[in-house]
Amino acid sequence: RKEPLFFYVNNKVNSRLIKPRENKILREIIQKYDLIFIIAHLQTLRTKEIINFSRELNKPVVFRTTGEIELSGGAPAYLKDVNLFLHHSLINAHNLHNKLKTDNYTIIDQNSYMEPELLKIPVVKRKVIRFVAIARLAPEKNLFNLISFFKEYCEEDDELLIVGTGKLFSELSSIIGKTPNIKLMGHLSLKELKRIYTNCECAVIPAYTEAGPLVGIDAMAAGKIILSTKAGAMPE
């Protein structure tokens, strides 16, 4: 039992004990409300139960999907009981609804939490030497490759700031080592992020998979050059 406790919630023994009680609680909660709003990845645990109970209790369901939708096979049948999907990417929408054979979705326009402040940052024309990557420090964010690439190809004046926290913090710190022009900044407040955007010229989004990402919207509001993989809504 070296893993965190939540790793063991879904083992066979606990499932027999917990599942009936959990379903009872879900039903009781759903019964109280007029509309059920799900904000989750398509394959998030308990999504199926929530949708099925909502259908049985005649409660409409709005599903705001997060993450990139990748369905190797067909889409689960219970998703047809969702009344409306909200997507911020046409690619994401088509990946799902071409399989579901439904058009019960609408595309929403994301905006930045910091939009009023970021729009005040003056657009400047200067040599691009300061790069920033803002991401959770997780494997899918592809930061190891970004650091490796930057080490190999950066010029003397270039600087890469990596903003965020996560389970790879120690590993990334070790790889960066004493490289003077790569800095791991950790978590920053919104005020500090505005300062980062003001002082950098380019935002880098190196992830393998994304939902948006919101950092892309932030960078656009700040008027920054963006270098991105074809992840999430970025191609759009």
Can you give the pLDDT of all 236 residues of the chain as single tens digits?
677 776 666 677 667 777 888 899 999 999 999 999 999 988 888 899 999 999 999 999 999 998 888 888 888 999 999 999 999 889 889 999 999 999 999 998 888 889 999 999 999 889 999 999 999 999 999 999 999 999 999 999 999 999 999 999 999 999 999 899 999 999 999 899 999 999 999 999 999 988 788 999 999 999 999 999 998 889 88
The answer for residues whose C-beta is within 8 angstroms of residue 119's C-beta and 6 or more apart is: 221, 222
Phi, psi of 77 (to 5 degrees): -60, -35
The answer for residues whose C-beta is within 8 angstroms of residue 106's C-beta and 6 or more apart is: 84, 85, 86, 87
CA 124 from centroid of its chain's CA atoms: 29
CB atoms within 10 A of CB 7: 10
Residue 233: predicted pLDDT: 87
| Contact (Cβ atoms closer than 8 angstroms) between residue 204 and residue 227 | yes
Nearest to 206 by CA among 155, 147, 129: 147
